[in-house]
Structure 1
Amino acid sequence: MHKSKSLAGIIGPTLIVMVASELKLWNPTLYDDQIVPLIYLSGVLFFVAGLAIVHSHNIWVLHWPVVITLLGWLSMALGLLRMFFPQAYQGNFSNDISAMVVEIILISIGFFLSFKAYWPQIRQEK
């Protein structure tokens, strides 16, 4: 559980800050000029981050730590997609509503993980 809290304490705030900085409110032209080498590079970074998470935290339980494992596997899959098909990924999420839904989901996961990592656990006395 300590490893899960440590990883949640890193992944949660990182998700919040990364996704919030990509919102069209702050960076309206961020994805206008997507170039293939940068899409490939971000794919490599996503893949390595996902692989590190899965390597250190491949925990399949019916409890909140499985969210970290799922994020690791999804990050690896997204990285592979960006590495092998950067042209197909270019211009994806041109629909503002679908992008906003994904951003809200990711920020919610970030807040959930941050809550699990930093909120003090209340122990019940018997």
Structure 2
Amino acid sequence: MDRSLFLSRLIGPTFLAIALGMLVNLGMYESMIAEALRPGILFYLGGLLSLLGGLAITNLHNKWQMNWRVIITVLGWLMVLGGVARIVAPQFAIAIGSTIYGDRASTVMIALLVGALGALLTFKGYGRPIR
């Protein structure tokens, strides 16, 4: 199977579930985000997992074609950068995360963006027969 299709089949439904969870349980997700943006082992482990996942994606799928596949590559690189930032410069990463998730409206917008990306990747991964 094409790596792009494989990764879109993993990332797409995961993003859809995350977005739905965020929208249905907004208050709970706001609490979890606030907890995750505090310095400590959870923050460090999140950075480590993000770095490892991002490196796996970028090593398997570093395709800079101007089509839907570039979304997977960009997500991989964002994971690498976010992971490195959380490990090397945690105060900076916390400041950025606090700005991004500053209020309820921004959390809803992120959930909608994640849901749209998830829907697109799910459609690309599962929406057409594989030859």
- TM-score interval for Structure 1 and Structure 2 normalised by the shorter chain: 0.7 to 0.9
Aligned to 1:109, which of 107, 117, 122?
A: 117
TM-superposed deviation, 1:76: 0.8
Aligned to 2:53: 49
Aligned to 2:108, which of 100, 105, 109?
A: 100
Aligned to 1:63, which of 61, 67, 72?
A: 67
Provide structure 2 residue ranges, at least 5 long, that are not aligned to the other structure: none
| SS class of match (1:18) | helix
Aligned residues: 123
When the two structures are superposed, what TM-score results if normalisation uses the length of structure 1?
0.82
Q: Distance in 2 between matches of 1:14 and 1:107?
A: 9
Provide structure 1 residue ranges, at least 5 long, that are not aligned to the other structure: 122-126
- Aligned-residue CA RMSD in angstroms? 2.4
TM-superposed deviation, 1:58: 0.4
Aligned to 2:31: 29
Identity of aligned residues (%): 33
Indicate if the aligned counterparts of 1:22 and 1:30 stay in contact, CA closer than 8 A: no
When the two structures are superposed, what TM-score results if normalisation uses the length of structure 2?
0.79
Please tell me whether Structure 1 or Structure 2 has the larger radius of gyration of its CA atoms. Answer: 1
The structure where helix makes up a greater share of residues is 2
